[in-house]
A and B are shown apart, each in its own frame.
Chain A
């Protein structure tokens, strides 16, 4: 199976590429089997996400959004991976992985409410298989093993994917999660978006290992190293990892080499303190949108008009979502108490009564 080639061969080598930066296909043998419409849909999602990110940064600066971790540059890694999954697969995101949640079915206005710090932002609709964004770095790596073990015990053909950055690979939970997944042969995909920096700390200060992918060896699971600016390559390795998972072959660690064009978060991080302009522009040459746009244009599948239509669509969607977020009712302490337990202990009943009295005034 050609897919196995990718997972086994890329671990310690050059990241797998299907599209060269000029948009030409360099590995036709690994080309995902996608229709023209599906290819266009990948581009639509990337452009949409880029616009959404720009709008989110702007809304954050206006004070209309709260906590926000920019995603520009990582669209191929995020969307390529999510698109290779089915809706029944379970996503355990980190705080930056909001796009995968939304493309998996989480409503955008709820993502905005999450950003603002509103309870509705955590209320994932029934049937949408995502967890709330994880703030504790790498906790999702161990939790994904539990979700995946559940699928394995029930004999369901589903996988759990967990997302994290390069810094997370220094955490104990990253290693423990992979190791448990290895021992129990669980259908898990550990997806590391290596954007080179954990806030200001470059990857070489996280580890003396050559890369993230080799760390799979310590757990005895499969690994793949992929060009995270190449959406087709990302799509391919995730599809393969999923197949391995549901075939009972166990877990895969994927390292996607990518870059964030913006700051770590919108809470005052200034990347010019730790990154050079040369480095930034070097990665801008590798922009996943440029590469995939060239590929589609060469095939006659994308035009400026298509792009403009998506830009308008995204702007409208963001405007609608922020409006809907504005309409969310203000939270009440009594309501927060109510979601602590199935049955409230007397002490909390008492505190709830106190706050209900205040709230009714």
Chain B
């Protein structure tokens, strides 16, 4: 076991998969010699050579098309989009091409691409770097979306994503890259896609969350427990498409109260889908409506306004209080 940051765990996952499977290729802008703008691909080109780890021209759509073409020709591309705010340049490759390859060919071709991309707020990036755009992919049939919240999950989930025979968008929250270290096993292990993790058990109210908001939610849960003794259950979704409905519903049936916490704007992200699922499957178990704690429905804030815009511990505590006192 080694103590790793999330970004180190991500590099390690790619290294493990590149060693195991020679069809795994890593490419994107500055991922080669430079080792990536966040050092996520550090050392990979030196270890595996320029045939396996290489820089591309500065063109996201070209990167996406390259990945799709390689994937139908027997390779397993791990393509990096430098910041997920740039996904619009390559949205066709993800949402109209990779996602539909298996379906439109009746299973003849598949597109096992992993699109890795950083996102997320709290580090004062310039425009269109931090936006939470996972909801767009959630609404795209045929592609999975994974968002890890810690080093251990990041490695196990990325290994699963690379091995998955369908396209996966793997979103890495920038604030979590180096914010803490965790024990991460050497070598290979995997965490199944589509399975949530109950990171804290509780009996009075459930928080359903993902990404950086897992940590915000855990702090809020702690505060609330200190303040009024209510036991909060916290679910880290880990995969937001497909969503682990079973774990959510099971928890709601136990606690009878829930909130969804996401960094994305209120009408973006996954909160609405989760609430709809709870309404369909567990309404008779609810003591209160399921509320959302989210960012407001504006464009992602100017860097100086992140602190007042992003959901924080206080807003999560408020949300919990409202459903508990309903």
Residues of A that sit less than 8 Å from B by CB: 90, 119-120, 122-124, 126, 131-132, 136, 139, 141-151, 153, 160, 172-173, 176-177, 179-180, 183, 336, 339-342, 345-348
- A-B pairs with lowest CB-CB distance, top 3: A146-B69, A142-B65, A150-B73
Contacts of A148 in B (CB 8 A): 69
Contacts of A173 in B (CB 8 A): 61-62, 65, 92
Residues of B that sit less than 8 Å from A by CB: 51, 56-57, 59, 61-62, 64-75, 77, 92-93, 96-97, 102-110, 141-142, 164-166, 194, 242-243, 245-246
Are A177 and B62 closer than 8 Å at their CB atoms? yes
Identify A142's interface contact among B62, B72, B103, CB under 8 A: B62
Minimum CB–CB distance from B232 to chain A (whole Å) comes to 26
Quick one: closest B residue to A121, CB to CB?
Answer: B106
What is the predominant secondary structure among interface residues of chain A facing chain B? helix
Contacts of A153 in B (CB 8 A): 51, 75
Are B245 and A142 closer than 8 Å at their CB atoms? no
Are A346 and B246 closer than 8 Å at their CB atoms? yes
Quick one: closest A residue to B97, CB to CB?
Answer: A139
Are B96 and A150 closer than 8 Å at their CB atoms? no
Contacts of B245 in A (CB 8 A): 346-347
Measured CA separation A149–B165 after assembly (Å): 20
Are B93 and A139 closer than 8 Å at their CB atoms? yes
Minimum CB–CB distance from B163 to chain A (whole Å) comes to 11
18 further A-B contacts with Cβ under 8 Å, apart from A131-B109, A143-B68, are A120-B106, A122-B104, A123-B105, A142-B62, A142-B65, A143-B69, A143-B72, A145-B66, A146-B65, A146-B71, A147-B69, A173-B65, A177-B62, A179-B59, A179-B62, A341-B142, A345-B194, A348-B242
Measured CA separation A180–B243 after assembly (Å): 36
Quick one: closest A residue to B194, CB to CB?
Answer: A345
Are A123 and B62 closer than 8 Å at their CB atoms? no
Measured CA separation A123–B92 after assembly (Å): 22
Are B141 and A131 closer than 8 Å at their CB atoms? no
Minimum CB–CB distance from A100 to chain B (whole Å) comes to 17
Are B75 and A150 closer than 8 Å at their CB atoms? yes
Quick one: closest B residue to A92, CB to CB?
Answer: B69
Report the tally of A-B residue pairs with Cβ distances under 8 A: 126
Quick one: closest A residue to B62, CB to CB?
Answer: A176
Are B72 and A131 closer than 8 Å at their CB atoms? yes
Measured CA separation A316–B69 after assembly (Å): 36
Measured CA separation A180–B67 after assembly (Å): 12
Are A123 and B66 closer than 8 Å at their CB atoms? no
Q: A139-B92, A150-B73 are in contact. Are A122 and B97 (CB under 8 A)?
A: no
Measured CA separation A76–B173 after assembly (Å): 53
Contacts of B96 in A (CB 8 A): 136, 139
Identify A124's interface contact among B65, B75, B105, B243, CB under 8 A: B105
Q: A131-B72, A147-B72, A180-B57 are in contact. Are A119 and B106 (CB under 8 A)?
A: yes
Measured CA separation A205–B92 after assembly (Å): 25
Measured CA separation A131–B64 after assembly (Å): 17
Contacts of B164 in A (CB 8 A): 342
Measured CA separation A147–B194 after assembly (Å): 30
Contacts of B56 in A (CB 8 A): 180, 183
Quick one: closest A residue to B54, CB to CB?
Answer: A184
Minimum CB–CB distance from B239 to chain A (whole Å) comes to 9
Measured CA separation A340–B165 after assembly (Å): 11
Are A160 and B69 closer than 8 Å at their CB atoms? yes
Contacts of A147 in B (CB 8 A): 69-70, 72-73
Are B103 and A340 closer than 8 Å at their CB atoms? yes
Measured CA separation A302–B162 after assembly (Å): 56
Minimum CB–CB distance from A113 to chain B (whole Å) comes to 10
Are A345 and B69 closer than 8 Å at their CB atoms? no
Minimum CB–CB distance from B190 to chain A (whole Å) comes to 14
Are A339 and B93 closer than 8 Å at their CB atoms? no
Identify A145's interface contact among B69, B104, B246, CB under 8 A: B69
Are B59 and A180 closer than 8 Å at their CB atoms? yes
Are A149 and B106 closer than 8 Å at their CB atoms? no
Are A146 and B68 closer than 8 Å at their CB atoms? yes
